[in-house]
Amino acid sequence: MAEKGKLIGIGVGPGDTELLTLKAARILKTVPVVFSPKSSKEKESIALSIVKPVLEEREDYKRMMLVEPIFPMIEDKEELEKVWTTASEMIAMYLDSGRDVAFITLGDTSVFSTYSYVQKKLAGRYEIETVPGITSFTACAAARNRALVEQNQVLTIVPKIDDRLEEILEYSDSIVLMKASRNTSELESIIEQKEGVDEIYSVQNCTRENEKIIEGFSNEKPYLTTTIIKF
């Protein structure tokens, strides 16, 4: 019986291929199977577009196994559970055959990552290695040439503003709004009028060719938009 393969979660960073870690690039140049989830059949995976230049350097590029499962952008927990289970079992098939599998994910593997869901389902059954990546919000701060936090300041990372807004504003020195397209103009207005706000800026498509830094909140709000609020 073949020895089981290893699952390797790889954070591919915010967008610029040059921001891949050396370790991530090394693994991607040799791993036999790459899983690259995407939101629909029609859309190309952003994570795949980041690593493609590295994969294309492989001598076996045309023969390597690339699997692109659909991870729809929905909030129905039951449906999402089915998606994660199906993807996990697909990965398990390759691992059971003795092949290592790299699962690529935008940014870092531990921050709002699709990888974390399959990682949990396969934990204990297979060897797993997790390779961190540069996060979108640290890349945004670098694009702005500003620190996110200093000394004893508190950084809060928020996927979506909800009824905890007042607490977040009270106890945070810097706030990262990861999915700015979800914010309503009403909530943005509340933040702008809050006393003590020192700076608000948004970065669209950070580190990519069409990167754009905007003062305040973004009106356009493409998917890859991050807003940073400093007090």
What's the pLDDT band for 195 if we cut at 50, 70, 90? confident
DSSP 148-194: S--TT--EEEESS--TTHHHHHHH-SEEEES-GGG--HHHHHHHHHS
pLDDT at position 123: 96
pLDDT given for residue 44 in this prediction: 85
Number of Cβ within a 10 Å radius of residue 124: 7
Q: Look at residue 219 in the predicted model and tell me its pLDDT.
A: 87
**Which bin fits 95, alpha (ψ -120 to 50), beta or left (φ > 0)?**
alpha
Instruction: Output the pLDDT for position 97.
Output: 96
Q: Answer with the residue of higher pLDDT: 2 or 92.
A: 92
Tokens of 44: 């190309």
**Quick one: how far is CA 27 from the chain centroid?**
18
Q: What is the pTM of this model?
A: 0.92
pLDDT score recorded for residue 151: 96
Q: State mean pLDDT over 16-35.
A: 98
pLDDT at residue 184, rounded to an integer:
73
Backbone angles phi, psi at 44, to 5 degrees: -80, 145
Q: Which residue has the higher pLDDT, 89 or 168?
A: 89
Give the model's pLDDT for residue 198: 93
pLDDT at 54: 98
Query: Does pLDDT of 1 surpass 60?
Result: no
- C-alpha distances out from residue 45 to 18, 19, 70, 175, Å: 18, 17, 10, 28
Residue 150 pLDDT: 96
Question: Strand, coil or helix: what is 46?
Answer: helix
Q: How sure is the predictor about 167, in pLDDT bands with cuts at 50, 70 and 90? A: confident
* Mean pLDDT over each residue of the chain, to the nearest integer: 93
Residue with tokens 């610029």: 16
pLDDT, tens digit, for every residue of 29-65? 999 999 999 888 888 899 999 999 999 999 999 889 9
pLDDT tens-digit series, residues 104-151: 999 999 999 999 999 999 999 999 999 999 999 999 999 999 999 999
